[in-house]
Structure 1
């Protein structure tokens, strides 16, 4: 007799005292013979207003068709998404990080309430991916993540473009480095179609890490959004979800401390987004795994930077696909060199090492990935800084191109908008430390990303001349001498609230320190005259978020009280 795999859905379909539930399932098109089949929730972050997500419904339809061939029942479900690129630099960006919690909550809600036996999640944009895995870990039933894939590069005037090209173009136009016509053509050609932003920004960082963790099929993170590989993946994923159901392999069997470290190690090797820190703190909590900021620093100290990838490098995810052969080639290299643990279980039902057996060896000829014995930087670019400005920790992204030490006079702004105006009006001078505060998890609220100011800085030619620190966070597309996630944040009375224009700030990415060079007596005097500002939002989701969100040093989660 064939093994039963409808462990959850049978509580609805085989319960004789639920006639209304059965009537509604018949209304969906189910037949009586279908009531014994396992049910799969096919969750996509589909919506039409964002290139990262616009194609996910089509991928979900292909997966549903594949599911049906395996004698499983598939139900398509959509959850929300927020476009970081569209909301960047606006008040809408405050919803970006909080959307991660809404995504996780909605996945948990619909799957648990409807008793689906397994889940295939199809994320596209940045917060979709951690939101999905957090939700799947809470549910802990057989699940696979299928990444929507990366966008193709744009072209203009012989140059490859991506989303960051459009942000930096404004800085170049304002500093008279390009004309209005050139500026418009860059903007029009930066994003040629569907898919997540092309560099090693947050979406591709998290996708690569989750593939290495074992929650995606091999090649999922590097197969482009419009490639034949992505279509094949959608057709084959049903085979693997069936296997997980039959073997009862669940996310918490796959997401362990070792597999989390694998994901972070790969992301650091590739020069990934600082957002991985926030997201992996949250993922670890959902998996009931003890993981802290100090673990990130420990890993970063051990792992060299070998990925010549945007924003600080030259290449995109599509180049990894075309010239390297995909993320598995890099994973195999790191396994062979003893960087990664190969014994971790994956959604194929095999270990990470077993998945890599037929993967070709790496080729360094295109200088997209550097060998470990000749890295771009001998240790990782993620630096966890402590000091009087961030006694609970802060996160820097130092690739080496910016240097590792900066000391300068503070130029203080109480909002991103004020800082952006000053940068675009050429009011920022060399050797300044730009301070953007009251933009943390509570102060933002929502801890908005700072891609606009960092892009304007780079576009204006100030990339090596100024530093930027904030209690907000940075986009995966940000680069330059930047420090974010300063904790405690300004709204909570962190020292960043008491910085004044002209104060000297010292950032040392070798000693991992960040210091406000003001004596303690003066600091105490400033604290006494400070009145905490009220929350910027008085109602709605952001108000609820600001009231319950944990600090950045704890992952900005909302399900712990």
Structure 2
């Protein structure tokens, strides 16, 4: 019996059938599996502008394999467009909105299977969370990454523009050079071209077994992406027939594989928000300390932008995620007996998938570093942890101590950086930007880009209870927990305090004696928030803050 039979079969389903006939269904279609296609197509997000083509290809694949494709929408925010203003407060909360609304649609209309078509930062994890909750046969096919831009024979991306703003502010480049940069950085549709959050999550979807090989890396503008979408449409029918559900694929060991690949690729620190939230929906607890344990064993094999000069299109040509998995398997660092949506094991998927370009994917014996691309730090400044993209930190900044420059919000910090009030050796502290304090946990790409563009990337660190874009590079330490809004130690930092950062040892310390910290704690008062009505206000009241991310109660 099919799940959709409850609205298609028997006398009691006559009212529902009448509405399906209103949609143009035929009697033959009433006998076939009903496949929901969750399309995130919209005309404001570059990564989603092309999803109508993916949607049509998936529909063809479903129909070719004997199913009935039915499209319904999911929202998506462009973090780049939302960056640096009030709109960024709404970005992270859309993850929950996407999961909730998709769950509602799929339960109200009992589909037999789902094909998820996401592409960007919160859209991918939101749909993975929905798939885990619903636990009906599901497969993902993303819209794919955009191609890198080119300026003066050098490849560039969205993050290049962010840093160029600061370079223009300091007089390093002209207004005309900034204008040319902004026009050339994002030359095609697709998710931004580096190993930013969207591409990180699309690659990790592949590792979790929920996307076909190539899902994370085939460029948006390639015809190969259309073929992948057709195959995903056909493959969902096989998953439905065999009754393979997300819980069969997204197992605890699959999440460990995802963390290993995360470390090898040097993914966005936002993966440390999203993987635990997805695992939570699967009934699996992910402790962030797992990241350090895995990082100690897994080498960093890729330096993709912003950490290096390679882009996701290069990763695709070098062999993609199968080649990375194949290389990690040589070291015995992944489980290869796990089932994937191909209906084959990881071992079968990666057989013979050797590296095709060793300048993009380093061999295991010659990694960029012997440890992984992300580190979780703890100490009296972040008792519950904080996260840094280690692979994007200059060698001289892995250990750093400096005087705190404290700002209660992103705008004040950005103003100080642009005005030249931040000096080499400083530690910029931006607080009250956490899930509750923001509210919404804004990304801090603009301040880090301003630091890099001002030539301070090898001498200034930044710490925040907000989060960082996958496009961030430098000694940017985010997700500090507990956050300032709930009285976390970051709320007690004062101008000029000495802060010590030791990334190799996973430590972050506020060098103030315990008695003084207690005195400051006794004087601390909650900061009043000016909250708008609606969902964001409800979110701020109910959110649980932690280094694992924002999860609604």
Normalised by the length of structure 2, the TM-score is: 0.97
SS of equivalent residue, structure 1 residue 121: strand
Cα distance change of structure 1 residues 73 and 497 upon mapping to structure 2, 3 Å threshold? same
User: Unpaired segments of 5 or more residues in structure 1?
Assistant: none
* Matching of residue 245 in structure 1 with residue 240 in structure 2: yes
SS of equivalent residue, structure 1 residue 32: coil
Tell me by how many angstroms 1:547 deviates.
1.5
- Deviations along 1:515-540, one digit per CA (max 9) or x if unpaired, are 11112222222222221023331421
- Deviations along 1:167-196, one digit per CA (max 9) or x if unpaired, are 011011111111111010000111112100
Tell me by how many angstroms 1:294 deviates.
1.1
Correspondent of 1:526 among 502, 520, 524: 520
Correspondent of 2:433 among 414, 434, 439: 439
* Matching of residue 262 in structure 1 with residue 257 in structure 2: yes
CA distance in 1, matches of 2:290, 2:302: 21
Alignment of 1:448-463 (within 5 A): 448-463=442-457
SS of equivalent residue, structure 2 residue 481: coil
Aligned to 1:338: 332
Aligned to 2:347: 353
* Matching of residue 386 in structure 1 with residue 381 in structure 2: no
Correspondent of 2:356 among 342, 363, 366: 363
Tell me by how many angstroms 1:212 deviates.
1.3
Tell me by how many angstroms 1:271 deviates.
0.8
CA distance in 2, matches of 1:229, 1:444: 41
Aligned to 1:375: 367
- Deviations along 1:180-232, one digit per CA (max 9) or x if unpaired, are 11010000111112100111111111111111121100111111101111011
- Deviations along 1:419-455, one digit per CA (max 9) or x if unpaired, are 1111111111111000000000001111011111111
SS of equivalent residue, structure 2 residue 363: coil
* Matching of residue 502 in structure 1 with residue 485 in structure 2: no
CA distance in 2, matches of 1:434, 1:332: 40
Q: Do the aligned residues in 2 keep the contact of 1:280 with 1:555 (CA within 8 Å)? A: no
CA distance in 2, matches of 1:303, 1:240: 32
CA distance in 2, matches of 1:335, 1:252: 23
Alignment of 1:311-326 (within 5 A): 311-322=306-317, 324-326=318-320
Tell me by how many angstroms 1:320 deviates.
1.4
Aligned to 2:202: 207
SS of equivalent residue, structure 1 residue 120: strand
With 426-435 and 326-335 compared, the bigger mean Cα shift is at 326-335
CA distance in 2, matches of 1:257, 1:39: 30
Tell me by how many angstroms 1:63 deviates.
0.9
Q: Do the aligned residues in 2 keep the contact of 1:308 with 1:370 (CA within 8 Å)? A: no
Alignment of 1:109-508 (within 5 A): 109-322=104-317, 324-357=318-351, 359-365=352-358, 367-399=359-391, 401-402=394-395, 403-508=397-502
Aligned to 1:68: 63
Aligned to 1:85: 80
Q: Do the aligned residues in 1 keep the contact of 2:64 with 2:234 (CA within 8 Å)? A: no
SS of equivalent residue, structure 1 residue 468: strand
Q: Do the aligned residues in 2 keep the contact of 1:442 with 1:535 (CA within 8 Å)? A: no
With 70-79 and 179-188 compared, the bigger mean Cα shift is at 70-79
Normalised by the length of structure 1, the TM-score is: 0.96
- Deviations along 1:347-367, one digit per CA (max 9) or x if unpaired, are 01111111123x4411344x1
Aligned to 1:537: 531
CA distance in 2, matches of 1:288, 1:107: 19
Q: Do the aligned residues in 2 keep the contact of 1:445 with 1:536 (CA within 8 Å)? A: no
CA distance in 1, matches of 2:431, 2:167: 26
User: Unpaired segments of 5 or more residues in structure 2?
Assistant: none
With 518-527 and 421-430 compared, the bigger mean Cα shift is at 518-527
SS of equivalent residue, structure 1 residue 553: coil
SS of equivalent residue, structure 1 residue 391: strand
CA distance in 1, matches of 2:480, 2:320: 35
Q: Do the aligned residues in 2 keep the contact of 1:268 with 1:381 (CA within 8 Å)? A: yes
Q: Do the aligned residues in 1 keep the contact of 2:8 with 2:14 (CA within 8 Å)? A: no
SS of equivalent residue, structure 2 residue 233: helix
Tell me by how many angstroms 1:332 deviates.
2.0
Q: Do the aligned residues in 1 keep the contact of 2:269 with 2:470 (CA within 8 Å)? A: yes
Tell me by how many angstroms 1:401 deviates.
2.1
Aligned to 1:512: 506
Aligned to 2:45: 50
Tell me by how many angstroms 1:25 deviates.
0.6
Tell me by how many angstroms 1:262 deviates.
0.8
CA distance in 2, matches of 1:206, 1:158: 30
Root-mean-square deviation over aligned CA pairs: 1.3
Tell me by how many angstroms 1:15 deviates.
4.0
Tell me by how many angstroms 1:510 deviates.
2.1
With 160-169 and 547-556 compared, the bigger mean Cα shift is at 547-556
